[in-house]
Each structure stands twice: as C-alpha cells, then as structure tokens.
RNA sequence: GCCGGCAUGGCGAAAUGGUAGACGCAACGGACUUAAAAUCCGUUGGUGGGUGACCACCGUGUGGGUUCGAGUCCCACUGCCGGUACCA
C-alpha cells in the first residue's frame, strides 16, 4: 500500500447550513480519523511478528504492554476504559518508535452473568448477545485508533480459547503440592502407590462441600454479586446458605509464595500490602485442650500463647464437629436452636448484623493444660469455622472480642499481661509483661511466646503454627455461560476426560431458566450429561475468573492449536530476566486482590510444571484512577452523569478524547470528567492543524504558506529539543499530563511565529504521534505532498523517535534568583560560565539586595549553582 | 475500628528541599465581524500602595518542628475518598 501520495482535498464546510447540534468542525478529524484507522488496518500496520515469522527481528528487545481486557457489556465502552487503554497505547507506540518489538493486544473476558441473565429474560442465546457486544466494543475501540495487533484478539468464550482454560484446569486437577512447596504431577503420587483417596485429597483441584447462596423463592443458586444484604438482588427474597458439592482450587498451598514473591515485582506498595493482608499470614501456636470427662481433644489456634494462663473459657464455632459429642443433654435444645439460627444467616449477616455478641454454653468443660483449671466450653458465631481450627481459647483480659463476650455473659476476666505505665490491663491487647502466669512471669510478651511454645512442644500438647486468612478458591458455579469442567463422574468417583476431547463445549440449551433446585442448568441437557452408559458429566461451570487467569499468555501466540502458548513465543514475550513476564500491566484497583492473586496462582502452577518460564505473570503494575462524573460523583446510569466516548469522538474526535484522558491529571489519580477540558485539547489540536493548513474564503483547507523549509531560530530549536526530551522522559514516567503541557508550549510558540520551519513541525509530529496518532499521521502525509524530499515514505507511527540534541539545550545565559533570608528580592541574568565568586559579588552588590540587607550583617551566602543566591543576614 | 490514598487559585492541575500556581478550563479586556460564533492578542491567587513600569505583605487543609530556604522532610491533628471488617 502506498501512503500519503495524493494531495488532500476537503469539502468546504457550509456554515450557514450547519445547525448547532452538528457544530462546525475546526479541523476535519471526522474525515481523516476513520481514513487512517482503515489504512492502518488494511496495511496491518500494528501486526506484531512472533519468533519464527519471516519478518521477526530477533535483535530487537521486547516490550509486552497489557491492558486488563474488558467484559463486553451491553452498555458499550465507558470513558473509564480508554483511560488505561490510551496510556498503554502511548507507551506501546513510543516503545515501537524506540526500536522495541511491542506486544500490545486486546481481547474479551466474555463469559459472565449479564449475558446469561439476558438469556433467561429473552431467550436470546448468550453467544448471540456476546457476539453483538464484542462487535460493538470492537467498533468503539477501533474508532479510538489503538495500535493493537488484532490478529491476536482473544475471547474467553471461543472454544479455541477455552479448550486451553480446560486444559490448564486438568493440569491443576492432575497436580499436587510437594514438600518443596511446588506443584508436581499427580503421577508421582501414583508411582508412590498412594491410594485413590489419598491422591484425591491432595489434588490442586478437589471436591468439597461448600455453602452456596440458595434462594428458594427464585428457585436458583445466586452468585455473590446477586446477593445484597442477605437478599436476592432481583426480587429481594431471602437467600440461604446451603452446602453443595463444589470444586475447590488449593490456592492456600501457595499462600507463602504468593506473599514472598511479591518482593521482586514493580507494583505499587499499596497493592502489595492489599494482597499481603488478603492472604493474611499470622504466626501463633496450636494448643490442645482436653475435654473434661469426655477426653476428646479440642485444638485451638492462638497468636497469643503467652496468655494461656488467662484462658477462662473456650469457644467453638457453631459448626464445629465436636459440638455434638460434648454438649450436655440439658443444654442440647439451646445449642440446637443456636446452631440452626446461625446456619440460616449469611456471612454478611453474621458479621454486619451481629454487632452484639451471642453464644450458648454447651454444658461441657475443658481442662486448661497449663494449670488444669476447668473452663466452660461455649459456642458462638464470632468464632468462624473457616479460620484456624474453628475453636479458640478465650482470654478476655487481652482480646477485645473475648472481653466483650465475657462481659456480656459474666465470665471471669483474669489479667495475665502487665501493660506499660498508663494503660488499663482490661482489654489490653498489645505487648507487655507476663503476670499471673507461673513460669512466664516477668517475661516480655515476645519472650513469653517463645517460652510457652517450647514448653507446649516439650509436653506434646502444642506447637508453633502459621495460619493464613486466605481460603481455598471456590471454583464452581451453578451457571450455564461458563467453561464446563472437563470431568465426569462414574460410581461416585470423578475422572478427567481425555485431552483429545477438549474443548468440551457446553450443550446448546434453549431453556436458560433456573432448574428450581440447586442443580446447575447444565443438568437440563440430558443427552450431553450422559457421558457413557455408566458415567455422567460434571454439571458445574467455571467462574468468570478462569478465563482471565491466563489470557496474557494466549496473546503471545493466540492462534496456536497445538499448545496453550508456543514455547518459543512464551520464552520471548514473557522472558527478559525478571520475575514477571508482562512489562507493564495497567488496570483498575478493583482487581487488586482477586484477579491478580488468581492469575499469579495459576502462573506459578504452570511455572512449577515447566510450562512457562517465569514465576510471576506481571512485572510492573499500574492502577489507573477512577474517572468521576462532572458532578464529582461516581459515574452511574441512575445519576445520569455517564459520558459516552462515542459522543466525544463524534464532537471532538478520537485524538481529542485520547489527549484529554491523559491531560486530566496523573494516571493513578481519581479525577472528575470535564467536557470543557476536552474542548481545550480539541483547540490545541485545531491550532496545530492550522500551523499547516489555512482556510480560504470558501471554507476549504489549503497548505499554509507560513510553513517553509527554513532552519529554526535558536530559541525555537531549543524549545523543540526541550520538548523532545521532556515528552520522552514523561512517557517513561507515565506522566502524560505534563508531556501534553510541554507540547502545548511548543505549539503556542509555533503559532506565534510568522514562519514555521517545516523540519521543526515534522519532529513535533513524531513526538505527538503516540498521543494523537491520527492528526500526526494526517499532517505528516500532507507535508509530504509539499516537501517530498523531507518526508520519507511510511507511517509516522513507524519512524524512529527523535533524539534530542543536548547542545541545543545549553543556555548562553542563566537567570539567578537573589534571595535575602529565603525571600526572592530580585534576579540577575549572567553568562552561563560566570564563576561562583562573581555571582555572589553581583548578588551582594545588587541594589534590591542592599535595600533588604541595609543595617544587617551578612552571615552567610548560599549559592545553588545556576539557580539562586540566598543571602543570610540579621 | 483497622489499612491505604488524597488535600495547592473560581475549576482540572504543575513544581530533583531552591522564583508556588507551568499547561488547560472559566472569567474579563481588546482585534476581526453588520452582528454573533470561531480565531488571534492580552489580563487573571488574595490584600494594600502607586498615574505607571512596578512595590510590599499574605498565601499550598490545621498546629508545631528541622533547614540559610519547606507545597515538598519530621511530629501531632482535621476533612474527604477507597478498601476491609469478629481472621483468635
């Protein structure tokens, strides 16, 4: 394809016929933006060759710049989307211009609830809805001129994609974590002769009974996001927790690595902290308490074993297995009632509504192993079955929750920690000194912890332990629109289907209505369910997170039918000698824990099994800030403050939108939208356009006679090189807003000069091109028609980033600010090479300085080279 | 409650410990126009003074501190935004 040879011709704009709704365009972006988008597309301008391709240049370094791919909702693009996308596009284009092979792809996280809910309502197959939404999103994204390699587009609902999601699941299913903390193939356990039960209990994907949100009125299982305050979002019916056979992923086996290996990543510290807190490592000890009379053991976890002497009662989670065994006949009715009541409550109710502590005495007692005291055993919902051992020793004197509970039920409170001066010991939870604790007395808390741990271990009744808040990942959903599990059930046992049967497509259902039982909708496809005469398929589907756990890998080799990603492609794009493979990952903070933790988990499993070459997926992470509405509120349909990017593109063009999204402020910051701000960027681009083009009487744009092939004067040249330098540095720092300001300064200077040197303008366009690629491309090609000898063929997107000339930046003279006692009083302009002594002398002799030092003694003269002189006098 | 982030003109913002407010918006004045829009030129933190070029003082949420010098560093506090919530 030949580029840019025909001279431009634009239709005149008839002002009189154009109404206010269709305001007159200040430059014909509506013509050239679609033109360049089509040109880039047909020229495959942003196709990225892979290792092995004929046009692949292995000598270039790689740069993998990634956006969090969107869920293609029916609402279309939101102005929040192009914020991150523009940032990565600028980086990607800039890196290309700097000689990198850039991988900058886009795709669709397209499984999910809304399409299924729409199907239930209208009967439209989710595939149809999804296709339409993807088409709309694609059109919208293409209208913004992003330099994606569309050949690498991925879609999580595409069988060619989810074949590999299912394949990775089978890897998880067929792996376990060894003593080395790494994933290994399950075949190793088989070789050791372990039983089927033992093997199943160690798989990274395993079956467990877990509670789901069951809504009897709606006759369906609900996702967490469909439950609001314990009621269904639709209809407001009560939702119960009901245990159901579920698939779980053993992410907890990676908890420590998920914490430790954050260290090598260039992520915001706040996000690392969020992940660490989510994983929630806590060091403590497990202690066994004997049940008096019964003899059963109750194991508790505590971070404060040093307070063991202060344990005056115990609490079991209501669901705790031992409750049935130890409860006395007398207390049984109360305990039963309490257990039933808590079972009905959702997690939300248990926490948010239970401000007031509740609980019931079981009638049983336990023996405190340190002093053989009999202490009562209670059940209470403030002890959670899912954390630790589901049982605690209560030390009311030094734990807020136990303190509250003990006060309410009038249980004894015994001091065992002496706080520092000025603190009340009741409810004191910090470090202090052990008291009333026999052999621990006088020890500071950390020492007491060590001492008691040793003692417990010696007696064989406890040991140091580490606990994590992180739970295993509930991986199954009772939904239609998700990846089916590549598993079957036969004689009550599960088994994987052969890899050759992947992808396992979901059955083509026509009836999407809930089954009315907790059975997943796939159960309706009776033919599909029957795998063989004796085996049936697993009916659950995977959660939406599944597809997004590995999509970045698929981008490296999106069309590979043999492997989830080709080895060579993976090594090249994900390699680079750092822990993480993706060089820059931009997305919202809402994924700080779940998506980013799940993806890291899968990646580590794949790494351990030798399928990928780095231990971490994402080296550098940046969170873009939320864009608020013009009213400063979060954008939402109900507030009516949503801005549609299509409207902005229509009125001001894609380049204006791109520029505005970047000029708003720092990328990471939360900031409000302003349509006037868009206009500012639009005017900037229009002014730049008019540097090259002038409008005649008929409203036709012609090449400007002010643009001439003459050398730039010294000041303009200095400004140009300053701009090249600053914009390049700012892009590297992701400070796009200040880069744009600097380009505006250059633009303003050019506007004000009578003659505009064409070489200056061409360089300016190169610097502008990552930000406003359409206008840059258009003006570049227009200038080529007038100065063919100055403008080589090809896209401006393909040119080399201009190098700035440091010599052009050298100032002949510098302005030195004169301060007296830190206050600016005057400034002097001196030749650059003026020695320090001379500048100081000039400063002291300065009339204004004298005025303010008059009558004072000069104590000190501070000279900051090239900047200022501060005279200290009193 | 706990954790994190933010606080600068009328507004969005900018400032390696060194001239606070670059750049943009809005506003105001002027040029062009029959007129308006657009465009171009200029003014624009506050208070006070001067006919004027200018000058002084005050000013980065509040109060202290470090420093020759603080929007920037330290301590204490206030307000707003986000996350999280009985994790023993």
Nearest to A691 by CA among A783, A769, A799: A783
Q: Across residues A174-184, what is the average pLDDT?
A: 96
Q: Is the CB of A282 under 7 A from strand B?
A: yes
Q: Is the CB of A752 under 7 A from strand B?
A: yes
Tell the residue number behind the tokens 């994987």, with chain if given: A496
> What's the per-residue H, E or C state across A647-686?
HHHHHHCHHHHHHHHHHCCCCCCCEECCHHHHHHHHHHHH
Backbone angles phi, psi at A475, to 5 degrees: -105, 0
Structure tokens at A127: 């595939």
Mean pLDDT rounded to a whole number for chain A: 90
Domain boundaries, chain A: 281-468, 811-873
Nearest to A372 by CA among A303, A292, A458: A292
H-state helical runs in A415-484: 445-459
- pLDDT of res. A220: 73
Window A56-115, strand B contacts by Cβ < 7 Å: none
Nearest to A25 by CA among A15, A34, A36: A15
Q: Is the CB of A872 under 7 A from strand B?
A: yes
Q: Across residues A112-133, what is the average pLDDT?
A: 92
Tell the residue number behind the tokens 């400034």, with chain if given: A827
Nearest to A514 by CA among A475, A484, A539, A479: A479
- pLDDT of res. A352: 53
Window A659-678, strand B contacts by Cβ < 7 Å: 663-666, 669-672, 674, 676-677
Window A604-643, strand B contacts by Cβ < 7 Å: 634
- pLDDT of res. A17: 34
Q: Which nucleotide minimizes the distance between its C1' and the CA of A404?
A: B86
- pLDDT of res. A19: 35
- pLDDT of res. A67: 96
Q: Which bases of strand B sit closer than 7 A to a protein CB? A: 3-6, 11-16, 18-20, 22-26, 38-42, 55-57, 68-70, 81-83, 85-88
Q: Across residues A613-631, what is the average pLDDT?
A: 93
Structure tokens at A143: 């209208």
Separation CA A581–CA A585 (nearest Å): 10
Q: Across residues A450-478, what is the average pLDDT?
A: 92
Window A153-182, strand B contacts by Cβ < 7 Å: none
In sequence order, the 6+-apart residues with CB closer than 8 A to the CB of A17 are none
Q: Which nucleotide minimizes the distance between its C1' and the CA of A382?
A: B86
Q: Is A500 helix (H, G, I), strand (E, B) or coil?
A: helix
Q: Is the CB of A354 under 7 A from strand B?
A: yes
Strand partners, A466: A283
- pLDDT of res. A210: 79
- pLDDT of res. A355: 67
- pLDDT of res. A350: 57
Nearest residue, CA→C1' of B55: A825
- pLDDT of res. A18: 35
| A281-468 carries CATH number 3.40.50.300 | no
For A516-527, letters b (16+ CB in 10 Å) and e give eebebbbebbee
Nearest residue, CA→C1' of B68: A872
Please, which contacts does A82-85 make with residues 24 or more away whose CB atoms are closer than 8 Å?
A82/A144, A82/A645, A82/A657, A82/A658, A82/A661, A83/A624, A83/A627, A83/A661, A83/A667, A84/A586, A84/A587, A84/A588, A84/A624, A84/A667, A85/A141, A85/A144, A85/A146
Tell me what percent of chain A is helix, strand and coil, each rounded to the nearest 5.
Answer: 40, 20, 40
DSSP code for A521 = G
Separation CA A783–CA A689 (nearest Å): 11
Separation CA A263–CA A579 (nearest Å): 10
pLDDT in tens, A518-539: 888 999 999 999 999 999 999 9
Asked whether the beta carbons of A246 and A221 are under 8 A apart, the reply is no
Please give the C-alpha separations between residue A690 and each of A16, A193, A683, in angstroms, as whole numbers. Answer: 22, 80, 10
DSSP code for A97 = H
Please give the C-alpha separations between residue A81 and each of A70, A544, A578, A645, A840, in angstroms, as whole numbers. Answer: 8, 19, 28, 9, 55
pLDDT in tens, A237-259: 777 777 888 899 999 999 999 99
DSSP output for A362-401: EEEEEE-TTT--EEEEEE-TTS-TTSTTSEEEE-GGG-HH
Q: Is A261 helix (H, G, I), strand (E, B) or coil?
A: coil
What number of helices (H) and strands (E) belong to chain A?
29, 38
- C-alpha A755 chain-centroid distance: 48
User: Quick count: other Cβ atoms within 10 Å of Cβ A574?
Assistant: 26
In sequence order, the 6+-apart residues with CB closer than 8 A to the CB of A707 are A691, A692, A756, A758, A761, A783, A786
In sequence order, the 6+-apart residues with CB closer than 8 A to the CB of A842 are A828, A830
B1 C1' – A229 CA distance, angstroms?
A: 21
pLDDT in tens, A53-96: 999 999 999 999 999 999 999 989 999 999 999 999 999 999 99
Nearest residue, CA→C1' of B82: A589
pLDDT in tens, A325-379: 999 999 999 999 999 888 776 555 555 545 688 899 999 999 999 999 999 999 9
Window A437-496, strand B contacts by Cβ < 7 Å: 467, 469
Q: Is the CB of A850 under 7 A from strand B?
A: no
Q: Is the CB of A299 under 7 A from strand B?
A: no
Q: Is the CB of A381 under 7 A from strand B?
A: yes
User: Quick count: other Cβ atoms within 10 Å of Cβ A458?
Assistant: 9
Residue A298 confidence (pLDDT) above 50: yes
- pLDDT of res. A513: 84
Fold agreement (A281-468, A811-873): no
Among A34-48, A183-197, A857-871, where is mean pLDDT lowest?
A: A857-871
B54 C1' – A848 CA distance, angstroms?
A: 13
Residue A299 confidence (pLDDT) above 50: yes
Asked whether the beta carbons of A401 and A412 are under 8 A apart, the reply is no
- pLDDT of res. A6: 39
> ω before A503 within 30° of 0 (cis)?
yes
Q: Is the CB of A269 under 7 A from strand B?
A: yes
The CATH number of the domain covering residues in A811-873? 3.10.20.590
- pLDDT of res. A27: 94
Separation CA A255–CA A262 (nearest Å): 11
Q: Is A846 helix (H, G, I), strand (E, B) or coil?
A: coil
Please give the C-alpha separations between residue A523 and each of A123, A537, A592, in angstroms, as whole numbers. Answer: 18, 9, 35
B68 C1' – A821 CA distance, angstroms?
A: 7
Q: Is the CB of A683 under 7 A from strand B?
A: yes
Instruction: Please state, for a pLDDT cut of 90, what percent of chain A lies above it.
Output: 73
Separation CA A402–CA A405 (nearest Å): 5
Q: Across residues A631-641, what is the average pLDDT?
A: 83
B31 C1' – A73 CA distance, angstroms?
A: 51
- pLDDT of res. A639: 81
Residue A1 confidence (pLDDT) above 80: no
Residue A798 confidence (pLDDT) above 90: yes
Separation CA A745–CA A733 (nearest Å): 20
- pLDDT of res. A698: 78
Nearest residue, CA→C1' of B20: A824
Q: Is the CB of A280 under 7 A from strand B?
A: yes
Q: Which nucleotide minimizes the distance between its C1' and the CA of A386?
A: B87
- pLDDT of res. A9: 44
Nearest residue, CA→C1' of B83: A274
Q: Is the CB of A814 under 7 A from strand B?
A: no
Q: Across residues A397-412, what is the average pLDDT?
A: 93
């Amino acid at each position: 394809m030949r580029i840019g040879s025909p001279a431009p011709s634009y239709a005149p704009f008839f002002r009189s016929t154009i109404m206010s709704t269709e305001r007159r365009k200040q430059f014909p972006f509506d013509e050239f933006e679609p033109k360049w988008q089509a040109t880039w597309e047909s020229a495959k301008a942003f196709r990225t060759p892979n290792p092995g391709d004929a046009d692949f240049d292995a000598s270039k370094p790689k740069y993998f710049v990634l956006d969090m791919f969107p869920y293609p909702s029916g609402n279309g693009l939101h102005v929040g989307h192009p914020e991150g996308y523009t940032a990565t596009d600028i980086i990607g284009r800039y890196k290309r211009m700097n000689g990198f092979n850039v991988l900058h792809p886009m795709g669709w996280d397209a499984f999910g609830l809304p399409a299924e809910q729409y199907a239930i309502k209208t009967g439209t197959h989710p595939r149809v809805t999804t296709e339409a939404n993807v088409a709309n999103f694609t059109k919208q994204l293409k209208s913004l001129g992003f330099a994606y390699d569309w050949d690498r587009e991925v879609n999580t609902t595409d069988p060619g994609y989810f074949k590999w999601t299912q394949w990775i699941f089978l890897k998880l299913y067929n792996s376990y974590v060894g003593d080395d903390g790494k994933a290994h193939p399950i075949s190793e356990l088989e070789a050791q002769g372990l039983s089927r039960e033992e093997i199943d209990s160690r798989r990274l994907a395993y079956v467990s009974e877990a509670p789901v949100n069951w809504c009897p009125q709606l006759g369906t299982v609900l996702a967490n996001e469909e439950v609001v305050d314990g009621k269904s979002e639709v209809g407001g019916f009560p939702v119960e927790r009901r245990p159901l056979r579920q698939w779980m992923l053993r992410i907890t086996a990676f908890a420590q690595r998920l914490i430790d290996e954050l260290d090598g990543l260039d992520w915001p510290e706040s996000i690392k902290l969020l992940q660490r807190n989510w994983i929630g490592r806590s060091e403590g000890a497990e202690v066994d308490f004997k049940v008096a009379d019964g003899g059963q053991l109750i194991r508790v976890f505590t971070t404060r074993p040093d307070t063991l002497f202060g344990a005056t009662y115990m609490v079991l989670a209501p669901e705790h297995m031992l409750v049935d065994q130890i409860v006395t006949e007398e207390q049984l009715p109360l305990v039963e009632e309490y257990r039933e009541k808590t079972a009905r409550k959702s997690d939300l109710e248990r926490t948010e509504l239970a401000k007031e502590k509740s609980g019931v005495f079981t009638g049983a007692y336990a023996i405190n192993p340190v002093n053989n005291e009999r202490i009562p055993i209670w059940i209470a919902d403030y002890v959670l079955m899912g954390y630790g051992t589901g049982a605690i020793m209560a030390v009311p004197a030094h734990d807020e929750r136990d303190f509250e509970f003990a006060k309410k039920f009038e249980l004894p409170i015994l001091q065992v920690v002496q706080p520092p001066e000025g603190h009340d010991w009741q409810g004191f939870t910090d470090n202090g000194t052990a008291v009333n604790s026999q052999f621990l007395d006088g020890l500071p808390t950390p020492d007491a912890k060590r001492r008691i741990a040793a003692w417990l271990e010696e007696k064989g009744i406890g040991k140091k332990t580490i606990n994590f808040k992180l739970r295993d990942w509930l991986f199954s959903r009772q939904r239609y629109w998700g990846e089916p599990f590549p598993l079957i059930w036969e004689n009550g046992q599960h088994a994987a289907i052969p890899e050759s049967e992947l992808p396992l497509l979901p059955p083509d259902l026509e009836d999407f209505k809930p089954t009315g039982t907790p059975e997943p909708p796939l159960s309706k496809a009776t033919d599909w369910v029957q795998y063989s005469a004796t085996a049936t398929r697993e009916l659950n589907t995977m959660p939406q997170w599944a597809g997004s756990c590995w999509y970045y890998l698929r981008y490296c080799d999106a069309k590979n039918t043999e492997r989830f990603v080709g080895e060579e492609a993976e090594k090249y794009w994900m390699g680079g000698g750092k822990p993480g493979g993706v060089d820059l990952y931009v997305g919202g903070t809402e994924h700080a824990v779940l998506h980013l933790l799940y993806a890291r988990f899968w990646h580590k499993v794949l790494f351990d099994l030798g399928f990928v070459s780095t231990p971490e997926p994402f080296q550098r992470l940046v969170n873009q800030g939320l864009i608020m509405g013009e009213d400063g509120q979060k954008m939402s349909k109900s507030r009516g403050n949503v801005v549609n990017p299509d409207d902005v593109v229509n009125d001001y063009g894609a380049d204006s939108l791109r520029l505005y999204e970047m000029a708003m402020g720092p990328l990471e910051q939360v900031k409000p939208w302003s349509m006037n701000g868009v206009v500012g960027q639009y005017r900037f681009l229009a002014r730049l356009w008019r540097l090259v083009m002038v409008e005649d009487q008929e409203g036709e744009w012609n090449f400007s006679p002010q643009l001439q092939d003459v050398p730039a004067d010294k000041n303009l040249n200095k400004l140009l090189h300053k701009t090249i330098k600053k914009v390049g540095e700012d892009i590297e720092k992701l400070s796009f807003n200040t880069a744009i300001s600097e380009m505006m300064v250059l633009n303003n200077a050019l506007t004000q000069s009578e003659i505009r040197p064409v070489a200056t303008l061409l360089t300016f366009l190169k610097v502008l091109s990552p930000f406003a690629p359409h206008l840059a491309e258009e003006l570049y090609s227009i200038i080529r028609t007038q100065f063919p000898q100055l403008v080589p063929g090809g896209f401006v997107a393909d040119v080399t980033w201009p190098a700035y000339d440091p010599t052009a930046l050298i100032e002949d003279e510098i302005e030195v600010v004169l301060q007296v006692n830190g206050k600016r009083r005057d400034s002097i302009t001196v030749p650059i090479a003026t020695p320090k002594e001379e500048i100081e002398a000039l400063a002291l002799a300065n009339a204004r300085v004298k005025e303010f030092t008059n009558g004072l003694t000069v104590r000190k003269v501070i000279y900051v080279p090239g900047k200022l002189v501060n005279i200290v006098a009193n």
